[in-house]
Structure 1
Amino acid sequence: MIISFTQVDGTVEELSTDDLSAREAAAIEAAMGGAQWQRIEALLQLQDPTALRAVAWAFRKREVPDLKFEDFDIPNWRRRLKARITRPEIEDALNNLMLQAISSKSEDTQIDLLTPHLRKLAQDPADVDAALDGLGKGHLVKRRQDSTD
């Protein structure tokens, strides 16, 4: 997951949760009251301010080791912090959906329902189409494009 952190001067710093160490992830879990990492990822997707702040804090601790979570704040966080998912995360979401839907034969319908959410969260919305192509579901992209023409 990528957290875009807009600095006061307008520059955007991208913080990838893939770049966190295991200790940093554990520190985020502790700062979030013992929440498991899966829960934190879900909160990030929901743009939860505490989860977003916790990830930014973990990266800032690299520069300021004694920085306490309770002392770290980001004014105007709604405009300055945004979580986005990467292509591998999009592919994982679609693969999980396919595994769950395979027995019900409704994977196309379920993918159609999930796709707008993935596009909204995607760092690059074109990654959603590429992931669908990789799954052999590129016809869903074509069908969606045909319906908007």
Structure 2
Amino acid sequence: MAAATADGSAASIRYGVAKVVEDEAHAAGGTFAPSALRAAHEVVSQFLLVCADDCAAFSKHAKRQTITHDDVELVVRNSPSALAAVREAVESSKKGRTERAAKRKAAAGAAQASAAVRRRGAGTPSSAGASSVAPDTPRSFGGGTGEAGESSELDDADLLALV
């Protein structure tokens, strides 16, 4: 399993390096020889291995088993552009996490409200507008009118009673 992951990571790195090299060659109006592409891939792979070892060492020094963004920042501290990119990625991640948490909280609130409406409408009808039709009463959902001349269109209270 680890070998498959390593092969997948190597392929991802190879693809990423190839895309960057292709973009840079296109911007410069030239091309890269396949041997130059292989050399660039090897440099990036070795650099990532060194970074991984350094991150692990910083994490171990801090008596943590998990590598955090602080460890990555320590690795790239001598490169202002890389440090800025790491910090931007961290801020973007925090912002996305905050937005997702807010969405989950709103969804949970809506689910609780929906459950409360269902509980209230499950027994006897309440003054909140629950349907006065018994739950086992047949209803027509097609066009026209249902049995006994009642309209087949359902209002919100009827829909909530069905749920």
Same fold (TM over 0.5): no
Larger of the two Rg values belongs to structure: 2
Give TM-score, length-normalised by structure 1: 0.25
Greater helix share, structure number: 2
Give TM-score, length-normalised by structure 2: 0.23
Question: Larger relative contact order (C-alpha < 8 A, sep ≥ 6)?
Answer: 1
Greater strand share, structure number: 1
